[in-house]
């Protein structure tokens, strides 16, 4: 049961981190994305800010 507990703990931590990152990126101010662009060949919608 120890292994199951560790796996569940890691999964929970990863879930919390991904949710926090999602909230951070969705609530960013639009003014910070003026110089950003999204690459056409990217699998993600992550803007690149030089």
pLDDT of the residue at 37: 60
> Does 22 score more than 60 pLDDT?
yes
Q: How confident is the model at residue 23 (pLDDT cuts 50, 70, 90)?
A: confident
CB of 14 within 8 A of CB of 1? no
pLDDT of the residue at 29: 53
Give the containing element (helix H, strand E) for 28: none
Between 48 and 5, the more confident residue is: 5
Length of the chain: 50
Place of tokens 């929970």: 12
Q: How confident is the model at residue 1 (pLDDT cuts 50, 70, 90)?
A: confident
Domain limits, the chain: 1-50
pLDDT of the residue at 39: 60
CB of 8 within 8 A of CB of 18? no
Which structure tokens are listed for 38? 């999204």
């Amino acid at each position: 049961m120890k292994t199951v507990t560790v796996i569940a703990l890691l999964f929970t931590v990863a879930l919390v981190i991904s949710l926090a990152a999602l909230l951070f990126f969705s609530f960013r101010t639009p003014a910070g994305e003026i110089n950003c662009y999204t690459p056409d060949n990217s699998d993600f919608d992550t803007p690149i800010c030089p």
